Every structure is written in structure tokens, then in C-alpha cells.
């Protein structure tokens, strides 16, 4: 059973370009979470999605950032018109369900975005 997959692992963009980060959850997992890790900090929650639904995007900046999890294909985190402050590691996690005391989020290897 493959783990959570993220690609690309490293992404370099110039200011003003768009960044697209992809996440394929573990097989059988229908819940996806995105977290951002700024340098020297812990991870911060950004958004929680189920198939075709955004459940909670309270941690995501209101402008330039969007996320989707279509019926088919991976979840996408999209950052438009990137700025240097967007440079960070972006981690995706998945879980099989929520509301269970046993629920665990499994993390992918992350995408490290560098904005020049």
C-alpha cells in the first residue's frame, strides 16, 4: 500500500508565477489535509478537503491560494502570483475517516517551494 504521494518534491518559481502542488492520498483515504511549514517553524493547518468538497479552509490565505480535490485525480494546492513569503514546505496528509478516536493522518514527503 503506497503512502501519500506528493509531486513535485521541489519547485522553483519566480515572483508572479503560479505554483501547482499535487497530492495523491493513500489508497482508501478520502480525506486530505494541507499544511504549510515555514522555515524554523512547525506545521500550520491550511485546508481540509473531501472528494469534491472543501470542508475547512480557515488556515488558507484568502487571496492567491486555492485547493481542490476532484472526483478523479489528486488534490491540488494552487498558489497564484507567488511571492517570496510563499517559500515553504507544503505537506499533504490523508486519513480514512474523521470522527474516530483512532483516526491518524499520514503525511507525504512534502513539496519544497522556493520563490526567487
Binding site for other proteins (CB under 8 A): 4, 31, 33, 35, 41-45, 48, 55-56, 59, 91, 93, 95, 98, 101-110, 112
Find the shortest distance in angstroms from Cβ 16 to other proteins. 27
- At residue 112, the 3 state secondary structure works out as strand
Q: DSSP string spanning 61-86?
A: -SSSEEEE--SSS-EEEEE-S--GGG
Find the shortest distance in angstroms from Cβ 88 to other proteins. 13
Find the shortest distance in angstroms from Cβ 26 to other proteins. 13
Nearer to other proteins, 17 or 96 (CB): 96
Measure Cα distances from 80 to 6, 11, 12, 19, 86 in Å: 19, 14, 14, 6, 10
Nearer to other proteins, 16 or 61 (CB): 61
Query: Which residue's entry shows cell 517559500?
Result: 87
Nearer to other proteins, 9 or 78 (CB): 9
Amino acid at each position: 500500500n503506497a503512502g501519500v504521494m506528493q509531486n513535485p518534491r521541489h519547485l522553483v518559481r519566480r515572483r508572479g508565477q503560479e505554483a501547482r502542488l499535487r497530492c495523491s492520498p493513500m489508497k482508501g483515504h478520502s480525506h486530505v489535509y494541507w499544511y504549510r511549514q515555514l522555515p524554523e517553524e512547525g506545521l500550520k493547518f491550511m485546508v481540509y478537503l473531501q472528494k469534491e468538497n472543501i470542508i475547512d479552509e480557515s488556515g488558507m490565505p484568502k487571496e492567491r491560494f486555492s485547493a481542490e480535490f476532484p472526483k478523479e485525480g489528486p488534490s491540488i494546492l494552487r498558489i497564484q502570483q507567488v511571492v517570496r513569503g510563499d517559500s515553504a514546505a507544503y505537506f499533504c496528509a490523508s486519513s480514512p475517516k474523521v470522527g474516530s478516536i483512532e483516526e491518524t493522518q499520514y503525511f507525504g514527503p512534502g513539496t519544497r517551494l522556493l520563490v526567487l
